[in-house]
Chains A and B, each alone.
Chain A
Amino acid sequence: MDAIEKQLYASPRNVRYIFTVTILILLLFSWSLSTINMENMEESGMRIAASIIGGILNPDLGLLFNVTSQGVMYLLIETMAIAFLGTVIGSILAIPLAFLSASNIVPKPVAGLTRLLLIVIRTIPALVYGLMFIRVTGPGPFAGVLTIALVSIGMLAKLFVDTIEELDTSILESMTSIGCTTFEKIRYGIFPQLFSMFLSIIIYRFDMNLREASVLGLVGAGGIGAPLIFAMNAYRWNEVGSILIGLVVLILLVELFSNRIRTKLVRGT
């Protein structure tokens, strides 16, 4: 037995642990297999699949490039407006909540309670908020804006807190030692550290909100979701195709730009 083989056999073996995890995963897998129920599958499924693909390959170009308020372009801009305004409102609301849940700023119990509230806000699906806000403002993009604002608070505040808690306090100490006032410390010590990170988080959330906003239409909260579901229920696959193409292109473009801006912000050039 040479040195290499010795090293190989000397490595720790947690066979029992791996075995248990494997068995556990297999059990969970077989337990979840019951979701496959073929009895609802109809014969027409394959034909519909073919016509969906056909529709996406032959989109309704007239609808896609239509600039009136029925066209895909207008609906996409409306979806973007919902996501944008929702992100702006959500980030304004998230900032105080973030400071309230940062354990190095407020006492522990307050921070704990705010965190619990944030977890609750984050877990409730956006569609539920959408259905609730429709009762408040009536159907339309306005309900969508409020939904997006509320949904974004949860994640934004959580990421803000992480940034606040990672704040480099040695800068503040050195500013105190050269005699800066509290205002100066906030302006030149804390603000520059937080600003670019917050902005980067907000842009990331805008990216996500655009996806959320595109499905909110399914419950009647404005945006492109409603025409999509109408077209589907009426089996107008060409329209579905043009809406989906518009949506995918928009989301990909926004993702590209937001990634560029965010790398710029984080690297600071």
Chain B
Amino acid sequence: MYDKIFPPSKISLPNGKTVHEKRSRTPIVLVLVLLATIVSVRFTNFDLEVLFTRWKEFFVIIGEMIPPKWDYLDHIWKPLMDTIKMSLLGSMVGSLAAIPAAYLASSNVMSKPVAAWSKFILSILRTLPTLVTALIATFIFGLGTLAGTVAIFLFTIAYVGKLLYEQIENADMGSFEAMEAGGMTKMQAFRYAIFPQVLPNYLSTSLFCFEGNVRYAAILGYVGAGGIGLLLNEGLGWRDYASVGMILLMLIITVYIIEKISEHFRKKLI
């Protein structure tokens, strides 16, 4: 289509042959991006004037966060530990539950319709933002850490499940078929032929998901699902920025430590 409107240029080579060089698509992509930007500016009331006159406000807030209020630390420990516990439990149970979910969703071990439906459910679960799931969970399980754990659990199933079924579908099926031919059931053949192949990657994905979940869990308190988010919300609401600075500092340190630990184990696995 594009090549018909802008015909490719002809280059004649010294040996008499001609080759066609397709026109670059960059200009049309640039025009489209520019148009989309203009439309977005209209939709979001983007205003450079406001930005130029008030951008300092943002740094005023950051300025108030430094130095953080050190003695606020005593209040932070319990919610911070709650946040870690929520993501730990949610990730552990979630990644365990992801194994049967991924088994059901792999088209090489399950029948096509079952696999398609399971994939569909997994992708819907993955698409729902964790905060929205947590909000729904607070209506069902009441305010508190349980709702947050459920939200993280659901996200972990969907995320680990998706990466796991992709692994299973790409696994080498030779030994699986051999074991089935040797009289094993599908489940047994899966356990001894495919599971060892995907195990290191599965563990590494679960660890990676846990890392991400600690970050998500930090904000779940905003909708009342437990953890440190509640304190963040209060601090920002009361404009008590020094305490917010302390919370953020602790959060950054925690996430950094967890990332380093999980990185260490992930490097060992692969």
What residues of chain A have their CB less than 8 Å away from a CB belonging to chain B? 25, 28-29, 31-38, 40-42, 45-46, 48-49, 52, 77-78, 80-82, 84-85, 88, 119-120, 123-128, 131-133, 135-137, 140-142, 144-146, 211, 214-215, 218-219, 222, 228-229, 232, 244, 247-248, 251-252, 255
Contacts and interface: CB of A to CB of B under 8 A. Distances in A.
B70 interface: no
Contact of A133 (B33, B58, B136, B229): B58
Nearest to A219: B222
A142 B85 contact: no
B50 A218 contact: no
Interface in B224-255: 226, 229, 232-233, 236, 244, 248, 251-252, 255
Given A40-B144, A135-B58, 6 more contacts: A32-B84, A40-B142, A48-B140, A124-B248, A137-B51, A140-B44
B50 A137 contact: yes
A119 B252 contact: yes
Contact of B45 (A34, A45, A140): A140
B149 A35 contact: yes
B89 A33 contact: yes
> Which residue, A41, A78, A119, A255, has most C-beta atoms of chain B within 10 A?
A41
B229 to A, nearest CB: 8
B252 A84 contact: no
B46 A85 contact: yes
B198 interface: no
Contact of A132 (B50, B61, B86, B131): B61
Interface stretch (B100-108, B121-129, B165-173, B181-189): B121-129
Contacts of A251: 127
Contact of B44 (A124, A131, A144, A244): A144
Nearest to A248: B127
A127 B89 contact: no
Contacts of B219: 125-128
A204 to B, nearest CB: 15
A241 B159 CA distance: 23
Nearest to A29: B92
Contacts of B139: 45, 48-49, 52, 232
B36 interface: yes
> Which residue, B58, B86, B256, has most C-beta atoms of chain A within 10 A?
B58
On chain B, which size bracket covers the interface? 35 or more
> Which residue, B43, B50, B57, B215, has most C-beta atoms of chain A within 10 A?
B43
Given A40-B142, A41-B142, A35 B82 contact: yes
18 contacts: A28-B88, A28-B92, A36-B149, A40-B141, A41-B146, A45-B139, A49-B139, A52-B139, A78-B43, A85-B46, A136-B58, A137-B47, A142-B44, A144-B44, A145-B40, A145-B46, A222-B44, A255-B127
B142 A42 contact: yes
Interface of B: 33, 36-37, 39-47, 50-51, 54-55, 57-58, 61, 82, 84-86, 88-89, 92, 123-124, 127-129, 131-132, 135-136, 139-146, 148-149, 215, 218-219, 222-223, 226, 229, 232-233, 236, 244, 248, 251-252, 255-256
B105 to A, nearest CB: 16
Chain B contact residues: helix, strand, loop or mixed: helix
B156 to A, nearest CB: 13
Given A142-B44, A252-B127, A35 B145 contact: yes
A29 B89 contact: yes
B57 A136 contact: yes
Given A40-B141, A82-B44, A137-B51, A35 B85 contact: yes
B61 A32 contact: no
B43 A215 contact: no
B255 to A, nearest CB: 5
Nearest to A143: B44
Given A78-B44, A125-B215, A141-B45, A132 B58 contact: yes
Contacts of B148: 35
A206 B11 CA distance: 38
A179 B248 CA distance: 52
B44 A81 contact: yes
Nearest to A30: B89
Contacts of B145: 35-37
Given A38-B146, A40-B141, A137-B54, A52 B135 contact: no
A74 to B, nearest CB: 9
A261 B200 CA distance: 30
B136 A35 contact: no
Given A41-B146, A48-B139, A215-B132, A123 B85 contact: no
A88 B139 CA distance: 37
A67 to B, nearest CB: 14
A128 B244 contact: yes
